[in-house]
């Protein structure tokens, strides 16, 4: 069953065509990785699929519904959330509050029930706290819940951002280089966490440079080079694909 | 179920009630009137702190909303003969609607452009007050605005009415801040792109912050008209807007308590200067603007986060614990 279907997606910035006619899909319960050399257009694809930037042309559908006319802030409500390559966290809030913001799309207390602290709003607030706490436990930073986010390390902030994106129970989570800046142990732990998400029924699309993580985690890999899709297949197939090796893996292995 | 408020905030609130409640017993009639005006200013600045400190927007024209509230009460009571209480209700709503329209019109603006647009809006509104003579009475203003029934002695009773309103606005704002709405405000302040990704409609929440600030300014403006009995365009211009801004920034924009404290502080400085000017004639006139400007500049250089957040930081440092030991991921 296809969860996300991307067809003939293109995007140009001024005269530069960053993404050219890229098509792919993500099945329900699948982890798909998007790889490619720097400037291949991976992040641009991710930004288009998550509604951050509109495509120049092409179609994106989620659960059979076209996302063309869907505003960026409605993606979370539909079940599409994401994390960012350069962390986008709220560092003046506590870690718990950061994760609670992730529940915005599935809560509904209005300005008057919040301002007057009506029972409904208070109950919802308690529920949000509980739920956010569970996600902090799941990613392993619940002991930091009441600290200001600015005191966290880079790796911890990444986990917090992931908890924020996951706590609304999305069907589709997009991750932009989740392992960037993490050490080996942290990466291995994060890989396990992603497996848990998959077991919970969330499909993942991740852009990543860490080949260990990708080969361990991904069900399917899509390779982009200079804005176009050059290969698609299982980790095994991709590792053996001559075009991929020429475009990407060969160079990457040398430098890594 | 946890207690509604933490122990620390109960203490702060208790001190506030004590000071605000006992103030009238320790001063002359003159100090009472200073307390009333401070309370009216505080209602405006608490709203402004929602816009500036929380939602991260800027308004250089807040006195316009204040003025629209005052003129609404003034026009409805003197020209239409409406009951002052009913007029006050409408005086709260009209500036909220004006804020809604303004925020809709300038929704896409950020930074300097937003500052300039709100500045221009402030000028336009003040000019309308001065020029639309048939309705606003022009530069001569409106006279004979009735006081609110039940609070018509304009002394201690009115003081408590105003500070009761300050308390309501304060509690309402605190309620909002510690809720999904307040977190949405703070989220769009830090990262609009992240806020959008978690389902927050950035434009709507900016709008909401402006509307709330307009509502509060309107309540205050209406009460101001009732209190003064006479209004003219003069207090509703840039001078007053900058004063509101200074109060919020000095107290600490990202704190409603800061807005309150800043209002009292700047208000007190104004009073001290007034007293000094009796002995030093050079302090008369627009000297206060220069002092507020200097305070604003010094504050931005040396204490950009403002008084209350700075104090909170110092307190937190004193009892800061080391980071809890890190547990294993997923454990």
Q: What's the complex ipTM?
A: 0.89
Tell me which chain B residue has its CA closest to the CA of residue A52: B193
CA of A65, closest CA in chain B: separation in Å? 18
Tens digit of pLDDT for each residue in B98-129? Answer: 999 999 988 778 888 999 999 999 999 999 99
Nearest to A103 by CA among A78, A80, A131, A83: A131
State the Cα–Cα distance between residues A33 and A214, nearest whole angstrom.
Answer: 7
Give me the residues paired with residue A17 across strands. A12
DSSP letter string over B70-105?
A: HHHHHHHHHTS---HHHHHHHHHHHHHHHHHHHHHH
* Interface probe with B: pick from A98, A101, A118, A161, most Cβ of B within 10 Å: A101
Contact B197 A50 (CB under 8 A): yes
Radius of gyration of chain B measured on its C-alpha atoms: 21
Q: Is residue A206 part of a domain?
A: yes
Residue A143: partners with Cβ closer than 8 Å, 6 or more residues away: B324, B325, B326, B327
Q: Is residue A180 part of a domain?
A: yes
Same-domain check for residues A215 and A236: yes
Same-domain check for residues A144 and A184: no
Contact A114 B326 (CB under 8 A): no
Same-domain check for residues A183 and A251: yes
Longest distance between any two alpha carbons in chain B, whole Å? 74
Cα torsion B121, B125, B127, B131 to 10°: value is 150
From A101, A117, A159, residue closest to B4, measured CB to CB: A117
Same-domain check for residues A125 and A198: no
CB B50 within 8 A of CB B185: yes
pLDDT for B2: 44
Tell me, what CATH number does A212's domain have?
Answer: 3.40.50.300
CB A44 within 8 A of CB A207: no
Q: Which residue has the tokens 């040396």?
A: B302
Same-domain check for residues A190 and A211: yes
Same-domain check for residues A220 and A103: no
CA of B139, closest CA in chain A: separation in Å? 38
Note down the domain range covering A117. 90-152+159-166
Beta pairing, strands A31-35 & A220-225: parallel
pLDDT for A23: 94
Contact B172 A168 (CB under 8 A): no
Helix (H, G, I), strand (E, B) or coil at B260: helix
Residues 49-68 of A with CB under 8 A from B: 50-52
The tokens for A144 are 């930091």
SS (H, E, C) chain A: CEEEEEEEEEEEECCEEEEEEEEEEEECCCEEEEECCCCCCHHHHHHHHCCCCCCCEEEEEECCEECCCCCHHHHHHHCEEECCCCCCCCCCCEHHHHHHHCCHHHCCCCHHHHHCCCHHHHHHHHHHHHHHHHHHHHHCCHHHCCCEHHHCCHHHHHHHHHHHHHCCCCCEEEEECCCCCCCHHHHHHHHHHHHHHHHCCCEEEEECCCHHHHHHHCCEEEEEECCEEEEEECHHHHHHCHHHHHHHHHHHHHHC
The tokens for A182 are 């993490």
Beta pairing, strands A80-82 & A172-176: parallel
Residues 197-256 of A with CB under 8 A from B: none
Q: Is residue A245 part of a domain?
A: yes
Measured N-to-C along each axis, helices B156-177 and B29-49 cross at an angle, to the nearest 10 degrees, of 20
Nearest to B49 by CA among B306, B237, B252, B239: B252
Q: Which residue has the tokens 């309308």?
A: B128
State the Cα–Cα distance between residues A44 and B192, nearest whole angstrom.
Answer: 18
Nearest to B198 by CA among A79, A159, A43, A180: A79
State the Cα–Cα distance between residues B263 and B253, nearest whole angstrom.
Answer: 11
Q: Which residue has the tokens 């402004």?
A: B48
Same-domain check for residues A71 and A98: no
Same-domain check for residues A244 and A192: yes
Residues 296-325 of B with CB under 8 A from A: 323-325
Same-domain check for residues A174 and A250: yes
Residues 161-180 of A with CB under 8 A from B: 164-165, 168
Spell out which residues of chain B touch residue A111, defining contact as CB-CB under 8 Å.
176, 181, 208, 212
Q: Give me the tens of pLDDT residue by residue for chain A, a chain 256 residues long.
A: 889 999 999 999 988 899 999 999 999 999 999 998 888 899 999 999 999 999 999 999 999 999 999 999 999 999 999 999 999 999 989 999 999 999 999 998 889 989 898 999 999 999 999 999 999 999 999 999 999 999 999 889 999 999 999 999 999 999 999 998 888 888 998 999 999 999 999 999 999 988 889 999 999 999 999 899 999 999 999 888 888 888 765 554 444 4
Contact A140 B331 (CB under 8 A): yes
Residue A151: partners with Cβ closer than 8 Å, 6 or more residues away: B323
DSSP letter string over B196-227?
A: HHTT--HHHHHHHHHHHHHHHHHHHHHHHHHH
State the Cα–Cα distance between residues B158 and B141, nearest whole angstrom.
Answer: 23
Whether residue B193 lies within 8 A of chain A, CB to CB, comes out as yes
Contact B330 A50 (CB under 8 A): no
Which H or E element spans position B230?
strand B230-231
* Residue A17: CA count within 13 A, CB half-sphere: 11
pLDDT for B279: 86
Q: Is residue A55 part of a domain?
A: yes
pLDDT for A252: 47
Tell me which residues of chain B have a pLDDT lower than 70: 1-5, 319-331
Torsion angles phi and psi, residue B115, rounded to 5: -60, -45
Q: Is residue A84 part of a domain?
A: no
State the Cα–Cα distance between residues A23 and A39, nearest whole angstrom.
Answer: 18
* Interface probe with A: pick from B6, B197, B253, most Cβ of A within 10 Å: B197
Whether residue A39 lies within 8 A of chain B, CB to CB, comes out as no
Spell out which residues of chain B touch residue A138, defining contact as CB-CB under 8 Å.
330
pLDDT for A253: 46
Same-domain check for residues A251 and A191: yes
Q: Is residue A85 part of a domain?
A: no
Radius of gyration of chain A measured on its C-alpha atoms: 19
Beta pairing, strands A203-207 & A172-176: parallel
Whether residue A184 lies within 8 A of chain B, CB to CB, comes out as no
What is each CA distance from B31 to A225, A236, B268, in whole angstroms? 74, 82, 11
Q: What is the pTM for the complete model shown?
A: 0.90
pLDDT for A250: 55
CA of A47, closest CA in chain B: separation in Å? 10
Whether residue A159 lies within 8 A of chain B, CB to CB, comes out as yes
Q: Is residue A251 part of a domain?
A: yes
* Residue A116: CA count within 13 A, CB half-sphere: 8
From A111, A192, A196, residue closest to B181, measured CB to CB: A111
Whether residue B170 lies within 8 A of chain A, CB to CB, comes out as no
pLDDT for A243: 84
Contact B198 A104 (CB under 8 A): yes
Contact A111 B330 (CB under 8 A): no
* Interface probe with A: pick from B5, B188, B194, B317, most Cβ of A within 10 Å: B194
Domain end, chosen from A140, A166, A192, is at A166
From A50, A81, A114, residue closest to B179, measured CB to CB: A114
Domain end, chosen from A166, A197, A228, is at A166
DSSP letter string over B174-198?
A: HHHHTSHHHHHHHHHHH-HHHHHHT
Spell out which residues of chain A touch residue B209, defining contact as CB-CB under 8 Å.
none
State the Cα–Cα distance between residues B293 and B271, nearest whole angstrom.
Answer: 16
From B175, B190, B200, residue closest to A115, measured CB to CB: B175
Tens digit of pLDDT for each residue in B215-231? Answer: 999 999 999 999 999 99
CB A149 within 8 A of CB B191: no
Contact A192 B330 (CB under 8 A): yes
Q: Tally the domains of chain A.
A: 2
Spell out which residues of chain B touch residue A89, defining contact as CB-CB under 8 Å.
190-191, 194
Same-domain check for residues A175 and A251: yes
* Residue A143: CA count within 13 A, CB half-sphere: 12
């Amino acid at each position: 069953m296809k969860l996300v279907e991307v067809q003939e997606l293109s995007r140009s910035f001024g005269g530069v065509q960053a993404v050219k006619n890229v098509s792919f899909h993500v099945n329900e319960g699948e982890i798909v990785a998007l790889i490619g050399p720097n400037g291949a257009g991976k992040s641009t694809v991710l930004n288009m699929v998550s509604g951050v930037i509109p495509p120049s042309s092409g179609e994106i559908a989620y659960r059979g519904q076209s996302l063309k006319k869907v505003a960026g802030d409605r993606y979370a409500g539909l079940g599409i959330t994401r994390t960012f390559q350069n962390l986008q966290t709220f560092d003046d809030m506590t870690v718990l509050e950061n994760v609670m913001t992730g529940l915005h799309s599935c809560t509904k207390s209005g300005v008057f029930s919040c301002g007057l602290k009506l029972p409904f709003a208070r109950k919802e607030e308690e529920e949000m706290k509980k739920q956010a706490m569970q996600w902090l436990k799941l990613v392993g930073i619940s002991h930091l819940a009441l600290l200001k986010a600015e005191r966290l390390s880079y790796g911890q902030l990444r986990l917090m951002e992931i908890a924020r994106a996951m706590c609304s129970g999305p069907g589709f989570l997009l991750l932009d280089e989740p392992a960037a800046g993490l050490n080996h142990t942290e990466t291995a732990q994060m890989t396990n966490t992603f497996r848990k998400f998959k077991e919970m029924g969330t499909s993942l699309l991740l852009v990543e440079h860490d080949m260990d993580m990708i080969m361990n985690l991904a069900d399917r890999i899509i390779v982009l080079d200079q804005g176009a899709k050059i290969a698609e297949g299982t980790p095994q197939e991709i590792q053996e694909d001559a075009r991929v090796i020429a475009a990407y893996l060969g160079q990457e292995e040398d430098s890594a | 179920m946890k207690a509604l408020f933490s122990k620390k905030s109960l203490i702060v609130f208790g001190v506030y009630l004590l000071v605000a409640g006992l103030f009238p017993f320790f001063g002359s009639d003159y100090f009472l009137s200073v307390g009333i005006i401070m309370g009216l200013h505080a209602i405006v600045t608490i709203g402004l702190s929602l816009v500036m400190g929380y939602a991260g927007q800027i308004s250089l024209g807040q006195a316009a909303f204040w003025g629209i509230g005052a003129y609404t009460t003034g026009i409805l009571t003197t020209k239409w003969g409406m009951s002052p209480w009913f007029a006050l209700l409408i005086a709260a709503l009209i500036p909220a609607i004006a804020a809604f329209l303004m925020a809709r019109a300038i929704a896409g603006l950020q930074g300097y452009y937003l500052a300039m647009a709100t500045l221009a809006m402030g000028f336009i509104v003040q000019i309308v007050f001065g020029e639309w003579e048939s309705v606003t009475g022009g530069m001569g203003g409106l006279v004979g605005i009735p006081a609110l029934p039940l609070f018509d002695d304009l002394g201690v009773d009115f003081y408590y009415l105003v500070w009761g309103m300050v308390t309501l606005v304060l509690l309402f704002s605190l309620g909002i801040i510690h809720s999904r709405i307040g977190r949405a405000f703070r989220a769009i302040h830090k990262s609009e792109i992240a806020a959008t990704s978690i389902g927050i409609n950035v434009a709507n929440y900016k709008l909401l912050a402006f509307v709330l600030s307009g509502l509060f300014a309107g309540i205050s403006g209406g009460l101001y008209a009732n209190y003064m009995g006479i209004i003219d365009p003069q207090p509703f211009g840039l001078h007053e807007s900058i004063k509101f801004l200074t109060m919020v920034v000095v107290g600490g924009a990202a704190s409603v308590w800061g807005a309150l404290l800043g209002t009292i502080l700047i208000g007190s400085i104004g009073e001290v200067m007034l007293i000094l000017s009796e002995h030093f004639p050079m302090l008369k006139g627009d000297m206060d603007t220069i002092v507020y400007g200097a305070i604003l500049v010094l504050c931005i250089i040396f204490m950009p986060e403002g008084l209350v957040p700075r104090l909170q930081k110092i307190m937190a440092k004193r009892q800061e614990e080391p980071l809890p030991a890190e547990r294993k991921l997923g454990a």
